[in-house]
Amino acid sequence: MRIAITTAPVHLDKTSTVCTHPAPGTKPCPGTSGYRASCSACTWRRTGRTQISLADVASTHLATHLTAPVPS
C-alpha cells in the first residue's frame, strides 16, 4: 500500500473541523486557522499554520514508515 500524507484546511472552531468548502477562507466558510496533515497508514495527525510548515514534519513522519514499513 502506498503511504501518503494528506493536508486539509481546518476551521477556526474549537474542534478544528476539516474545511470542505470549495473556497477555504471565503464565504460561506467561517474561516480557517491552519492545516491538518494526516497519514493514510496510521493515526498520525499534525496541525500547523501553513501547509509549508507541515511539509517538514510530514516528510519526517513518512520516513519513519519507510524505515519500518507497515504490513499491507
Answer for the pair 54, 7: CB distance below 8 angstroms, yes or no: yes
Interface residue with Zn ion, options 8, 16, 38, 41 (CB under 5 A): 41
Q: Does 19 bind Zn ion (CB under 5 A)?
A: yes
What's the first-to-final CA gap in the chain, in angstroms?
A: 6
Identify the residue among 18, 21, 34, 51 touching Zn ion (CB under 5 A): 21
Give the Cα separation of 4 and 31 in Å (integer): 26
Q: Is 39 in the site for Zn ion (CB under 5 A)?
A: yes
Judged by the rule CB under 5 A, the positions of this chain that interact with Zn ion are 19, 21, 29, 39, 41-42, 44
